[in-house]
Amino acid sequence: MDVTVVTAGGTSAISAADKFTYVAPPTVSSQTPTVGTTGVAVTVHPTVVFSTPMDPATITTSTVQLMQGSTAVSAVIGLSSNGLTATITPASPLANGTAYWISVTTGAKSSAGDVPLATAYGSSTTSGFTTVGITPTVSSQTRPWGLPG
């Protein structure tokens, strides 16, 4: 197949011997905790799985974030050796009974061809989860008069 490229200066032909490689933009395939999950442990390390291996230099705290409302949670971001899974390790346990969501920007790029994420990923409704509420504990107990102990 011949491809013709039209430029401002005229037309030039490119032969079938010239090769073009299309690299599909990566997407987020899944996340943990899954969207809408409640009762998540406050010690969770959320993950996002990409459709294609990612460039480790572009998987950073600027491109992959755990959000509480509009505020990024202080965390370390790691990328698996195969480049498919980013893990978010919060600097401290998350707050009880609190909604969080995962954000991945188009600054995250594939390792093949430096192609950015197809679209930014995440919002409070499309990538959110909620940590476990506070469980009441008994700190003391008083027995009524006359009851055996």
At 26 the pLDDT is: 96
Domain for residue 85, yes or no? yes
Domain for residue 5, yes or no? no
Asked whether the beta carbons of 64 and 88 are under 8 A apart, the reply is yes
The count of domains in the chain is 1
Q: Measured between alpha carbons, how far is 26 from 107 in angstroms, rounded to an integer? A: 11
Residues of the chain with pLDDT under 70: 1-20, 135-136, 141-149
> CATH number for the domain including 121?
2.60.40.1220
Domain for residue 75, yes or no? yes
pTM, rounded to two decimals = 0.78
Domain for residue 135, yes or no? no
Domain for residue 142, yes or no? no
Domain for residue 73, yes or no? yes
Q: Residues 27-53: pLDDT tens digits?
A: 999 999 999 999 999 999 999 999 999
Domain for residue 3, yes or no? no
At 113 the pLDDT is: 77
DSSP string, the chain: --EEEEETTEEEEE-TTS-----PPP-EEEEESPTT--SB-TT---EEEESS-B-GGG-STTTEEEEETTEEPPEEEEE-TTS-EEEEEESSPPPTT-EEEEEE-TT-BBTTTTPBPSS-B--TTTSEEEBPPPPP------PPTTS--
At 12 the pLDDT is: 62
Report how far apart the first and last C-alpha atoms of the chain are (Å, whole number). 91
The residue segments making up the domain with residue 75 are: 24-130
